[in-house]
Structure 1
């Protein structure tokens, strides 16, 4: 038993072999991580909604400060605002009658679709099953 434990050459080779195996496992884990990140980025990029804004359009602004005071029924968007200028790389200048003019990131904006909606209530009577 002492002869096996005192054989320094065999112990050194065994230790070197274990280090090489550990390096291979790390490299494989790194490759798997890169593959997963690449697939996740591709999926995320496919699901991004590209929005193009034009001067004069009406938009709603996402209010990120509401995250400090969470609530189910709290409105997340305010507006409508009017676009006055569109800059490259997604920056947009918007204006509001009461709040003035300021620049925001285009990702915080959402198109505002206005229309003449009827505010009258309508009733639908259903017949009971026969």
Structure 2
């Protein structure tokens, strides 16, 4: 148990220790503040370097999608997620591009010649020839050998 007199003595002793060398304590505190500023600047530079490297890595993997009129494209069907099919592709098409509008909007023709406008981010180039596409494959019974 500590008495008020002892408590007063300890606080006086602590105050005396802290204020013993005011000039050196102030200099030490200034040095610590300057070191803190240097550490913050190093952290800022490291963060900047990290962000630049991450952006370069991301940009390297981006495939530019520049579409022109009469190109063949596949359209991503985002509604297929509601009714998932294990082997069903989410890409439908191919569609022919009629016109590329500003802000990545694209006007497409379907097989019947109808036009519709969609966002260009939902497209990817179709690499096969349009004439070689078959609409359905006939299924036949296997031949007995």
How large is the RMSD of aligned CA atoms in angstroms?
Answer: 3.5
User: Is 1:5 matched up with 2:24?
Assistant: no
- For 1:124, the equivalent position in structure 2 comes to none
Gaps of 5+ in 2: 1-12, 140-145
State how many pairs are aligned: 120
Please point out which of 97, 102, 113 is paired with 2:127.
Answer: 113
Q: In 1, Cα distance between the equivalents of 2:113 and 2:91?
A: 16
- For 1:103, the equivalent position in structure 2 comes to 118
Aligned partner of residue 83 in structure 1, secondary structure = strand
Conserved in 1, the CA contact under 8 Å of 2:97 and 2:108?
A: yes
Aligned partner of residue 109 in structure 2, secondary structure = strand
Q: In 1, Cα distance between the equivalents of 2:75 and 2:88?
A: 14
Aligned partner of residue 37 in structure 2, secondary structure = helix
Q: In 2, Cα distance between the equivalents of 1:16 and 1:65?
A: 63
Larger Rg: 2
Conserved in 2, the CA contact under 8 Å of 1:60 and 1:112?
A: yes
The alpha-carbon distance between structure 1 residues 49 and 4, as it changes in their structure 2 partners (threshold 3 A), is same
- Show CA shifts across 1:23-64 (max 9, x none): 111111110111111122222222221233221222112244
Please point out which of 21, 25, 28 is paired with 1:14.
Answer: 28
Conserved in 1, the CA contact under 8 Å of 2:105 and 2:117?
A: no
Following superposition of structure 1 onto structure 2, how do residues 7-86 of structure 1 map, counting pairs within 5 Å? 7-64=21-78, 73=87, 75-86=89-100
Q: In 2, Cα distance between the equivalents of 1:92 and 1:53?
A: 9
Gaps of 5+ in 1: 121-130
